[in-house]
Each structure stands twice: as C-alpha cells, then as structure tokens.
Structure 1
Amino acid sequence: TIAVSLYPKLGYDLQKDLMPCTMLSSVPNVVVINPQRLPQVKSFADFQKYVKSNPGKLNFASAGNGTAHHLIVEMWKTATGSQAQHVPYRGAGPAMADLLAGQVDFMFDGLGTSVPHINTGKLLPLAVTTAKRSFALPNVPTLAEVGVPGFDAGTWYGIWAPAGTSPETVSRLQQEVAKALAGAELAAIWKTLGAEPGGQAPAEFARLIDGEVRKWSKVVKDSGAKID
C-alpha cells in the first residue's frame, strides 16, 4: 500500500490486478531509543520535549528510504511538527546494529526485532504506533495516549489472489487461512513476533487496504519521500 504512491511505475495496479483474500498478521512498530545515548529521556513526553528543543539535531535509523520504518516516522513528524534527520540503511539489521551501538538516536522499529533488546535493557521503549497497546509490551502506551491523537500505523501482511479469481475460491482461501491462524502452532509463532493474527473476511480486508492506500499516499505527499 506504500508502493502505490512511492513508485511512479509500479508495474501493476494493486486494486485492479489483485483480489484481497485476508490478512495474515499485523505488528505494531515501537519507538525505541538507546538509553545510553539519550540518558535524559525516560518517557515519550521527555523524548518529544527534547526533539522540539533540538529541532533537526536528532537522527533516526530506518531500513531504507520509503520503508515502513521510514514513513511511520515521517507520519509522526508531520503530526507533531517535529524535525529529525533520516539515516537510511540497507535493511533493518544494520539500522538496529547502529542504534544499539549508539550511532543514531532513535528508531520506529518492528516489535519483533526490538523486544529482545528491550528485555535486556539495551533499548528503551517509549510508545507503540498502533491504535491499541501490544500484548507484548502491555505497559508501553500508544502514541495516541501520549499526545499524538489518532495516530495508528503498523506493519501487516496479507494474501491476495489474481484478479478474476472466483469469489468462492477467495472465500475458501480466507477460511483455510483463518483456520490455520487459529491453531496453536501459528499462534505460538505469532506470539514470539509480537504479532496479532489476521483472518478477516475478504471485504473487510479490502476496506483496510483502501484506507491504507489513502493514508500512505498522504504521508508520501506530505513528506516528499522518494525511493533511491
């Protein structure tokens, strides 16, 4: 849903060439800092105040230009009038490595990769980016709870079928996926990743996609984000 607005020549039309089946899972992003680099920051309120007091001086790591890591930060910057310098990496791994090493100030990272470092105290979580709190970090507030009303952005994964696939086939695929997601094996895997299971009906998934396309189109336009 980001690529639709980011790539001028995508090569396919998401809403014409594909039929939504169902979501597999959704994962919040979490605002994390290295507490050794920013020892004065103990909460998101501290962080927001520090950012506003030092406009453009803090930097943030991402998995690359135009990635969810990057654009969720741009969404927050626009919503709060904040300024920070983007440091794009070639993937989330190198970005996280430099955050842990104290080379960058903060990151809006996927929950699954941050939680192990949060548990060891190497990273401090300040807020999650979704509308509701995560079961993996129940004591960490949402951005909406700490002064960014209406903020809701995360990472999700879904299944589509080629356009023209019969509604019966799409429905059957959704039902089988929902059944698998309800099983103990996948539930255990999703839990380790901090992911919420999907399984929504095709029509509900289609509405989500439409909303996501509109949301990210605005973020790309407002931020001027471009792919390398």
Structure 2
Amino acid sequence: MKILGRLLAGLTLLLLPTLAAAQDFPNKPIKLIVPFPAGGPNDIIARVVGQRMSEITKQPVIIDNRGGQGGVLGTDAVAKAPPDGYTIGIVSASSLVINPTMERVPYDVARDFAPITLVTTVPEMLVVASNVPAKNMDELVALAKAQPGKLNFASAGVGGLPHLAGELLKLTANIDIVHIPYRGAAPAINDLLGQQVQMAFLDLPVILPHIKAGSLRPIALGARERAPTAPDVPTTAEVGMPDLLIQNWYGMIAPGGTPENIVNILNAVTNQAMDDPQVKQKLADQGLTVAGDRPKHFRDYITAESQKWARVIKAAGLETTK
C-alpha cells in the first residue's frame, strides 16, 4: 500500500502542470487553421464560430488560412503543431476521410489528431438538367437503366464528395452513368444549365438559387431530414435509398496528444459558440446545419465516414498507390 501510495503521489505530481494549465486555459490567443483559402465554407464557418469563441474565452481566435492539396497542407500543419490547445483546425471530409483513403498524406488521422467536435453538416442534393424527362428518383433510375452508359453526371473534380456521391448512386441503384469531372462547382453547374450533362450531386447552398429559379430540377436530398430551405424535396431515405446519405461536414480538431481536459474545454467553448442564436442563423444563411457533439462521438463519426467512403473508393477503382 505504501508503494501504491507513493506511485499515486508521483503520478499526481506529474499531472499537476497539465491540470494547472487546463485550469488556466486559454490565457493567450488561439490559432485556428483553415486548410483552404479565404471565402470558402471552412473559412466562413471558422470566422463565424471563431468570433464567438473569442468572446467566450476573452482571448483572440486568429484565423490562419493555409490552402493547398485539397486541404492536406493546412491539416498537416495542425498535426505538427504543439499539442497545447493553442493551435486547432477546422477541417472537412476531404482532408480527414477522402484524401487519406485515396492517396498518401503526411499524417495519420487516428494518431495525429484529437477530435474536438463536429461543427456543421451540409447535404448534397441530386439535381438533373431541365431537359431530363425524369421527375423523381424512380424515373431517373429507370431512364438510366434503359440507356446504360448514356447519362452523364458532373462533379467539382475527381475524388471530391460530389464525385463519390455519384459513384455511390451507381452502386446503390445498380446503374451505369458516366462521370464528367470539372474544375470546381461553378463550371459543372454551367454545363448542367447548358444541358451538356444530365445530373450532379452538389452542395445544397450552391444549387439552391437554380432550383428556386426552376433551371435545375431537384430529385433527392442526401440527408436524413428534409432541408428547411428546400422543404418540398424528398430525402434519399424517403425515395427508398437510405444508404445514399451524402453530406459534407466540417469539424474542429487539435493536434494528437493534446491533453484530454484541454480538448474538453475546447469542446465546451465551441459548442457554446454554436449554440448562440446569431451564430446558428449566420450558418443557416449559408445552408449549413449546426451539429455539435462530444470528442469521442466525433472520432467515431470520422471512423464510420472513412469506412463508408473507402468502400465506395475501392468499388469505383479510385485508390492510388500509397
């Protein structure tokens, strides 16, 4: 018992600096790395949530945009930062799930990051060009089966979520449609409007104006619940494809090895910021749904998303040599 007592006493002494640091955390500015250029969804979320976090903690939250390699460079900067809670990042499915599955990246997702919380989700919507005769999912699937290899689906680039969404539709509905990649969502939408391609999965906020204008026809929303901004569009679950759940997401992470108590403080601050009515409204105006959860749940969510998209990537033959 004396030995155990001395061991516990020694462990307490070792933990004292960490506990003291957590009690005093944060006492200086927090750097929030955005692995994409200013103006994109990650950046908008970071600035809206970061401003409220700054007000809560009484410390500046400094936005640091580090674009490059589809989010990989900025995400790697988080991985290599000191694990003290003063450098965190806001990342999306591309840098934590898709890129690590398709190619070699300089970080290990399970080892090099401490998930803080899922921040927001944004569903992908399947739309068709105005000249496509299908008005719902059953009609679209029937049309594709009647013309195998004749219908095209656009995406914002190879390996992005809209591309993988189309591949998952092919697997789910057992149809043969051809992928046409573009350099971004804007040119993909232009060719959809010009009826050069027949369909696409794209972020709801991006295509909502064209749906309201009647220039693109919505087929289904890749979410569990209908979107308040498009209440008449059924979900993929409602049309009989519950596994066709397609939503982009953004989450807060810290470097791996960040003390659990500091991660918990960051989790509490971020969730408090997201619970602010003005923050919720600003994000809703961008078509984003506020999430918020505990670190363990976010880690489990990342794992589940990785497994899901790894199956799609493998089935589509998109894996590259690592």
For 1:64 and 1:86, the matched residues in 2 are separated by 10
Shift of residue 164, structure 1, vs aligned partner: 0.7
For 1:27 and 1:214, the matched residues in 2 are separated by 20
TM-score (norm 2): 0.67
Residue 168 of structure 2 corresponds to residue 80 of structure 1: no
Deviates more, 1:60-69 or 1:126-135: 126-135
CA deviations over 1:1-52 (Å, ceiling 9, x no partner): 1112111x111111111111111100110001121x21x2222221111111
Shift of residue 185, structure 1, vs aligned partner: 2.4
Residue 115 of structure 2 corresponds to residue 20 of structure 1: yes
Residue 271 of structure 2 corresponds to residue 156 of structure 1: no
CA deviations over 1:40-94 (Å, ceiling 9, x no partner): 2222221111111111101011010000010011011111111111110111111
Within the candidate set 92, 100, 109, 1:4 is matched to: 100
Instruction: Return the letter of the residue paired with 2:190.
Output: A
Shift of residue 150, structure 1, vs aligned partner: 2.8
Secondary structure at the counterpart of residue 118 of structure 1 = helix
Instruction: Return the letter of the residue paired with 1:189.
Output: K
What is the root-mean-square deviation in Å for CA atoms of aligned residues? 1.3
Shift of residue 152, structure 1, vs aligned partner: 1.6
For 2:238 and 2:149, the matched residues in 1 are separated by 25
Within the candidate set 188, 193, 206, 1:113 is matched to: 206
- Name the structure 1 match of 2:310: 217
Shift of residue 147, structure 1, vs aligned partner: 2.5
Residue 146 of structure 2 corresponds to residue 62 of structure 1: no
Instruction: Return the letter of the residue paired with 1:59.
Output: N
Within the candidate set 68, 82, 90, 2:183 is matched to: 90
For 1:127 and 1:5, the matched residues in 2 are separated by 27
Instruction: Return the letter of the residue paired with 2:221.
Output: V
- Name the structure 1 match of 2:266: 173
Shift of residue 113, structure 1, vs aligned partner: 0.4
- Name the structure 2 match of 1:207: 300
Shift of residue 226, structure 1, vs aligned partner: 4.9
- Name the structure 1 match of 2:239: 146
Residue 124 of structure 2 corresponds to residue 29 of structure 1: yes
Contact 2:126–2:219 at 8 Å: present in 1 too?
yes
Contact 1:62–1:69 at 8 Å: present in 2 too?
yes
Residue 144 of structure 2 corresponds to residue 51 of structure 1: yes
Instruction: Return the letter of the residue paired with 2:273.
Output: A
Contact 1:65–1:226 at 8 Å: present in 2 too?
no
Instruction: Return the letter of the residue paired with 1:6.
Output: M
Residue 226 of structure 2 corresponds to residue 133 of structure 1: yes
TM-score (norm 1): 0.94
For 2:225 and 2:145, the matched residues in 1 are separated by 25
Higher relative contact order (CA 8 A, sep 6+): 1
Shift of residue 138, structure 1, vs aligned partner: 1.9
For 1:83 and 1:170, the matched residues in 2 are separated by 46
Contact 2:101–2:319 at 8 Å: present in 1 too?
no
- Name the structure 1 match of 2:26: none
Instruction: Return the letter of the residue paired with 1:117.
Output: H
Contact 1:111–1:193 at 8 Å: present in 2 too?
no
Higher Cα radius of gyration: 2
Q: Which runs of 5+ in 2 are unaligned?
A: 1-96
Instruction: Return the letter of the residue paired with 1:71.
Output: L
- Name the structure 1 match of 2:75: none
